[in-house]
């Protein structure tokens, strides 16, 4: 693999690359669980997202400690860590969104759009994974980045009408409304951070060219 061949001389680098791929894999699983949870209205699947976030946290710690133990050339380390931190912030937002989903009373008229957005989030995440694999092979990331931006744009297009529709709905009390608002806000913001992660992959890719 390009990244490995170009920069790695030992097992620490191999460990980091393997863990980074696993980290993104876990994120994709969490996005898929979130989609399935909303589609099937199954709160137990939302709890799986919380478990996957904890697993992701453990993998992140492994990666960071390996990098600080000396994996990769020093100039590359901050960018690799930054990428891992961005992926971690996607996990955090997914966890927050899943937690809100456990409590939210989701009006049926909003469910279809929420399912679609969760599906698009999973697609964007899959594309991030494809992009990471392509970077390891030293391939051009331009088309992959565009695909991530397409997913993000589609979600953005749905976001405003969803928020507008939500505003027109009656809520029982302040907390019911706040939970619904926080849930929608989280669900529609996940792709923004996936886009940031995709952009950062391009930066890493450029820096090792």
Question: Least distance in Å: CB of 37 to other proteins?
Answer: 18
> Counting contacts by CB under 8 A, is residue 112 touching other proteins?
yes
> Counting contacts by CB under 8 A, is residue 119 touching other proteins?
yes
| Comparison of 61 and 111: residue with beta carbon closer to other proteins | 111
Q: What distance, in Å, lies between the first and last C-alpha atoms of the chain? A: 14
- Binding residue (CB under 8 A) for other proteins from 49, 71, 118, 147: 147
- Cα separation, 201 vs 80, in Å, equals 9
Number of residues that bind other proteins (CB under 8 A): 19
* Residue-level length of the chain: 209
> Counting contacts by CB under 8 A, is residue 185 touching other proteins?
no
DSSP 139: -
Question: Least distance in Å: CB of 166 to other proteins?
Answer: 14
> Counting contacts by CB under 8 A, is residue 157 touching other proteins?
yes
- Binding residue (CB under 8 A) for other proteins from 63, 127, 190, 204: 127
| Comparison of 4 and 149: residue with beta carbon closer to other proteins | 149
Helix, strand, or coil (residue 76): helix
Q: Where are the alpha helices (DSSP H) in the chain?
A: 2-7, 11-40, 43-68, 77-103, 108-136, 142-167, 174-207
Are residues 122 and 24 in contact, defined by beta-carbon separation less than 8 angstroms? no
- Binding residue (CB under 8 A) for other proteins from 36, 53, 113, 195: 113
């Amino acid at each position: 693999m390009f990244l490995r061949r170009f920069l790695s001389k030992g097992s620490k680098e191999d460990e980091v690359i393997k863990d980074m791929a696993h980290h993104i894999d876990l994120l994709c699983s969490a996005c898929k669980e979130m989609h399935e949870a909303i589609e099937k209205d199954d709160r137990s699947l939302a709890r799986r997202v919380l478990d996957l976030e904890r697993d992701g946290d453990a993998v992140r710690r492994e990666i960071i400690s390996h990098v600080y133990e000396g994996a990769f050339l020093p100039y590359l380390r901050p960018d690799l860590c930054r990428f891992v931190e961005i992926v971690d912030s996607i996990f955090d937002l997914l966890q927050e969104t899943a937690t809100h989903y456990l409590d939210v009373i989701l009006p049926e008229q909003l469910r279809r759009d929420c399912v679609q957005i969760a599906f698009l989030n999973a697609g964007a995440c899959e594309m991030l994974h494809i992009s990471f694999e392509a970077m390891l092979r030293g391939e051009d990331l331009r088309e992959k980045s565009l695909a991530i931006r397409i997913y993000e744009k589609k979600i953005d297009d749905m976001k405003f009408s969803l928020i507008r529709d939500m505003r027109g709905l009656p809520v029982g009390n302040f907390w019911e409304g706040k939970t619904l608002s926080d849930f929608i806000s989280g669900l529609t913001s996940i792709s923004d951070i996936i886009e940031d992660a995709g952009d950062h992959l391009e930066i890493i890719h450029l820096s090792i060219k």
